[in-house]
Chains A and B, each alone.
Chain A
């Protein structure tokens, strides 16, 4: 069977912390 790419992984991002600096 063909495999699927883990495209969901690309949606995982660090939170924006600019306002905490």
Chain B
């Protein structure tokens, strides 16, 4: 049943946290089995896309997103923007961030995109806004941005 498939999915997702890359293949396989029964299942498609991203199969993730989004009204939001960033499609990535709610995830991604575009001051600005959010390793990126912006003294 679909419930059994999700139970297996959950098991493999938890195992993947302990770094067995092969678990991501299992997640994709099980998600496909759910989608074979329930073609528009949003949880299943999100599991599949996240597994592909975590398995570093960014091009595959984008293909899956695009094919699915043509058939079903699912907004992949941050996942799509992140994939575009990884594909170095920076303008498109920024554009797809525009419609999303501003939270620490979208702000971190925006800052990374701006950094790659050479807009160091704008990138640093975002890290400074995020400083109170206690994000792990944020200061590494803040310092990288400041140095690149010629503001190492700060």
Contacts and interface: CB of A to CB of B under 8 A. Distances in A.
Interface of A: 1-15, 17-18, 20-21
A1 B144 CA distance: 8
Contacts, number: 73
B64 interface: no
A4 B6 contact: no
A20 B3 contact: yes
Given A8-B109, A11-B78, 19 more contacts: A2-B148, A4-B123, A4-B144, A4-B145, A6-B112, A7-B141, A8-B82, A8-B85, A8-B105, A9-B82, A12-B79, A12-B82, A14-B46, A15-B43, A15-B50, A17-B9, A17-B47, A20-B6, A21-B3
A4 to B, nearest CB: 4
B128 interface: no
28 contacts: A1-B144, A1-B147, A1-B148, A4-B112, A4-B115, A4-B123, A4-B140, A4-B144, A5-B137, A5-B140, A7-B135, A7-B136, A7-B138, A8-B82, A9-B82, A11-B105, A11-B108, A12-B54, A13-B50, A14-B13, A14-B27, A14-B47, A15-B42, A17-B9, A17-B13, A20-B6, A21-B3, A21-B7
